[in-house]
């Protein structure tokens, strides 16, 4: 089912959650805004939004070595207290995210961190492809924007679909843990190492 931009905006204003998350919740709720808000609340995304401004200066550096010892990930993931950093739930999240990074090799944590040169190169490629379609300029712009968003979903950690459960993004996975643990959680840094790669 399709939902209107007005409905998405109304839910976004009410929940403080991103547009795509609101749209997904509305589709799942067949356009019922109250039901969609409940879906967001249950998944912890609305709670996570409220906690996102709080300092997260504790946490762990988690190391994951893939079987065969040819691929590894170091992940810095932060929370508000040492107590939460030492819980199994928090460590499980660190492990899940590290395994996901090992599998998908993201470029960055969030889209703002992607190098401008990389974005420009992608825009140029998408623009060339779109121009060959012979569509008007305003349509080409929308096509490029759509393809760039898809590029972010494939390349940016927080926007990627979680490999173990593609129905949610990494951002949503983290938000669910925020709902469970009651603290702000931030993925601060990661390095992925693979034999033969520089």
pLDDT on residue 17: 67
E strand or H helix at 59: strand 58-65
Model-level pTM greater than 0.85?
no
pLDDT < 70 stretches in the chain = 1, 15-18, 44-54, 198
Number of Cβ within a 10 Å radius of residue 171: 22
The model's pLDDT over 36-54, given as tens digits with 9 standing for 90+, comes to 888 877 776 655 565 555 6
pLDDT on residue 24: 86
**Pairwise CA distance, residues 192 & 197, whole Å:** 10
**Pairwise CA distance, residues 59 & 80, whole Å:** 8
pLDDT on residue 156: 95
Number of Cβ within a 10 Å radius of residue 62: 18
The model's pLDDT over 10-38, given as tens digits with 9 standing for 90+, comes to 887 776 666 778 888 899 988 888 888 88
pLDDT on residue 59: 92
pLDDT on residue 49: 62
């Amino acid at each position: 089912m399709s939902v209107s931009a007005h409905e998405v905006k109304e839910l976004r204003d009410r929940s403080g959650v991103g547009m795509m998350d609101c749209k997904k919740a509305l589709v799942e709720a067949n356009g019922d805004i109250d039901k969609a808000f409940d879906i967001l609340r249950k998944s912890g995304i609305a709670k996570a939004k409220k906690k996102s401004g709080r300092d997260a200066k504790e946490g762990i550096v988690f190391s994951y070595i893939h079987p065969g010892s040819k691929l590894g990930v170091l992940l810095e993931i932060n929370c508000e207290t040492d107590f939460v950093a030492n819980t199994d739930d928090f460590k499980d999240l660190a492990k899940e995210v590290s395994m996901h990074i090992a599998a998908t090799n993201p470029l960055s944590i969030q889209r703002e961190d992607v190098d401008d040169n990389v974005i420009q190169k992608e825009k140029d490629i998408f623009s060339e492809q779109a121009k060959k379609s012979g569509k008007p300029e305003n349509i080409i712009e929308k096509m490029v924007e759509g393809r760039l968003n898809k590029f972010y979903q494939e390349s940016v950690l927080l926007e990627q679909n979680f490999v173990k459960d593609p129905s949610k993004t990494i951002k949503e996975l983290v938000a669910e843990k925020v709902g469970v643990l009651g603290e702000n959680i931030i993925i601060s840094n990661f390095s992925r190492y693979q034999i033969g790669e520089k």
